[in-house]
Structure 1
Amino acid sequence: MSESNTLSLRDEIEAQLRTVFDPEIPVNIFDLGLVYEIKIGDNDNVKITMTLTAPGCPVAGDIVRDVQEKIESLPGVMDCHVQLTFDPPWTKDMMTEEAKLELGFL
């Protein structure tokens, strides 16, 4: 696989992550800063390490399932594993400037 294909797959993954929303916050999980790491391994197996805005998030399972299904729907992706972590804990400082503007934090 050429380097440009790898870069475009990462771009596609990021674009898909921008379509996943925490139902309580009108900003996608990528711009919220909930995605800590994206690893693209052999055979385009993808591992995403992410967190939630709160450890007791009632829709955690839905968000994780949404991420997994959307990434696995990308052409060439064989498998997506989503790992939840709360270390480090999420803070508002992890959001993009656009997310902060949208939520009125700037």
Structure 2
Amino acid sequence: MAQDDTTTQDQAAGSYESYDDAGSVTGPGTGMDGSIPSVPDLPPMSGDKQKIANAVQDSLYDVVDPELGINVVDLGLVYDIWVDEDGNVVVYMTLTSPACPLTDMLEDQSTDAVVGRGIADNMRIEWVWTPPWGPHMITEEGREQLRALGFAV
């Protein structure tokens, strides 16, 4: 993303906010052109990189959405995982709501789960909003966990 004076970006988190001419935030993760970030078309990874991506996904089962008490993988919040040639990890992830106040907490938990365990030296989350999250994205395991907590799913 090209950086200019109308965009702020949290480099560690990979998230950004854009501002219109009046100085109003156009939304978290909204591009300068008004586009809504989605998972880019990524080329296939080598076998070694795929093993790292699988280990990252496994570690993200320990990252729990604090509002629902279910891990982010079973909630369907993790859309894709990419490992570049240098071993840097990008997790393409969404939230149940773009207004979720717990973004920083989920980023910290995710980084601890991946970098803290030595799976990768660098990891960032790219927040994406397309496709929008919906309950249909919850895995069957996630549904069982929600039912155990008293949710009708």
TM-score calculated relative to the size of structure 2: 0.61
**Fraction of identical pairs, as percent:** 30
For 1:9 and 1:68, locate their aligned partners in 2 and report how far apart those are by CA, in whole Å. 14
CA contact (8 A) 1:22 1:63 kept: yes
Residue of structure 2 equivalent to 1:52: 95
1:1-80 → structure 2 map (5 Å cutoff): 3=47, 5-75=48-118, 77-80=120-123
CA contact (8 A) 2:56 2:119 kept: no
5+ unaligned residues in a row in structure 1: which ranges? none
TM-score calculated relative to the size of structure 1: 0.85
Structure number with bigger Rg: 2
Structure 1 residues 4-27: Cα deviation after superposition (integer angstroms, max 9, x where no partner): x44442332112100001111121
For 2:142 and 2:76, locate their aligned partners in 1 and report how far apart those are by CA, in whole Å. 9
Amino acid at match of 1:49: Y
Structure 1 residues 23-52: Cα deviation after superposition (integer angstroms, max 9, x where no partner): 111210011000011001112110111001
5+ unaligned residues in a row in structure 2: which ranges? 1-45
1:88 aligns with 2:131: yes
For 1:95 and 1:50, locate their aligned partners in 2 and report how far apart those are by CA, in whole Å. 14
Query: SS of 2:107's equivalent?
Result: helix
Q: For residue 92 of structure 1, report the CA deviation from its aligned partner.
A: 0.6
CA contact (8 A) 1:20 1:29 kept: yes
CA contact (8 A) 2:89 2:120 kept: yes
